[in-house]
């Protein structure tokens, strides 16, 4: 089954404790992206990747890191989480471009205390 | 400053009637628009898209209309069904980079 998986689905952590949210897709997609969803703001892009070892900042990259060492995986790293990073995070992938149909993971609900 | 705006946070429609969801944008360079649908506890799923060279695109019960002069697009759902109850996001791209700009979403509630 074609899918995007994210782990964990729910995470409660404390300020400053490094964490990684994993994202994996099995569709051989080149384009992958991370979004955060906040009430009243919709989806905002954090980082995206056009292919292996090619990443770029989205609208809200501060406080986040990503890597794309393999085509299928695109982890999101919070080196020192802060309460303003409490949000719902989505990973997405598409064939080659942001205007191709993007397939989204189920989301990760992160709470930073 | 939000470049893509969905001014109605929610919309309630009777089953069987037409649902019209609206989206306005400010960037005249946007040339491709997409609608995604999101159920609770799931990620968004693609619904329909339109290029700026068209003013209408239809897919079954879903039709998207684009008015470039007004920088406005709308999604029509006819007839509305209970399974259409979801949050609908409008997104736009200007083709010059790999970003999509998203609206805040409209929650559609279909009443039986």
Contact at CB, B89 and A43, closer than 8 angstroms: yes
Q: Would you say residue A99 has pLDDT above 80?
A: no
pLDDT at A71: 96
pLDDT at B96: 72
Contact at CB, A42 and B104, closer than 8 angstroms: yes
Q: How far is B69 from chain A (nearest CA, A)?
A: 22
Q: How confident is the model at residue B35 (pLDDT cuts 50, 70, 90)?
A: very high
The residue in chain B having the minimum alpha-carbon distance to the alpha carbon of residue A40 is B104
- Using a pLDDT cut of 90, give the percent of chain B over it: 88
Mean pLDDT score across all residues of chain A = 94
Cα angle, residue A93 at apex, residues A89 and A94 outer, rounded to 5°:
145
Contact at CB, B41 and A31, closer than 8 angstroms: no
Q: How confident is the model at residue A100 (pLDDT cuts 50, 70, 90)?
A: confident
B42 at A interface, C-beta within 8 A: yes
B39 at A interface, C-beta within 8 A: no
DSSP labels for chain B?
Answer: --SEE---SEEEEETTS-EEEEEEE--TT--EEEEEEE-TTS--EEEEEEETT-SEEEETTEEEEEETTTTEEEEEESS--GGG-EEEEEEEE-SSSS--EE---EEEEEE-
Q: pLDDT tens digits, residue range B39-81?
A: 998 999 999 999 999 999 999 999 999 999 999 999 999 999 9
Q: How far is A88 from chain B (nearest CA, A)?
A: 10
Contact at CB, A50 and B98, closer than 8 angstroms: yes
Contact at CB, B99 and A90, closer than 8 angstroms: no
Average pLDDT over residues A54-82: 96
Contact at CB, A42 and B46, closer than 8 angstroms: no
pLDDT at A96: 77
Q: Would you say residue B31 has pLDDT above 80?
A: yes
Mean pLDDT score across all residues of chain B = 94
């Amino acid at each position: 089954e074609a899918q995007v998986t994210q782990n964990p689905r729910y995470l409660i952590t404390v300020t400053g404790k490094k964490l990684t949210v994993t994202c994996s897709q099995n569709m051989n997609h080149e384009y992958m992206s991370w979004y955060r969803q906040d009430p009243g703001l919709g989806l905002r892009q954090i980082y995206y990747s056009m292919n292996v070892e090619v990443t770029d900042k989205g609208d809200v990259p501060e406080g986040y890191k990503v890597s794309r060492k393999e085509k299928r995986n695109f982890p999101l790293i919070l080196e020192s989480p802060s309460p303003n990073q409490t949000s719902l995070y989505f990973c997405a992938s598409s064939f080659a471009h942001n205007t191709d149909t993007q397939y989204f993971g189920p989301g990760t609900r992160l709470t930073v205390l | 400053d939000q470049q893509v705006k969905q001014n109605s946070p929610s919309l309630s429609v009777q089953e069987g009637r037409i649902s019209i969801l609206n989206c306005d944008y400010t960037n005249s360079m946007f040339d491709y628009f997409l609608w995604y649908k999101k159920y609770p506890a799931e990620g968004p799923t693609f619904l329909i898209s339109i290029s700026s060279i068209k003013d209408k695109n239809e897919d079954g019960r879903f039709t998207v209309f684009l008015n470039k002069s007004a920088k406005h697009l709308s999604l029509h759902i006819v007839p509305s069904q209970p399974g259409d109850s979801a949050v609908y996001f409008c997104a736009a791209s200007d083709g010059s980079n790999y970003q999509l700009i998203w609206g805040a979403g409209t929650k559609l509630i279909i009443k039986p």
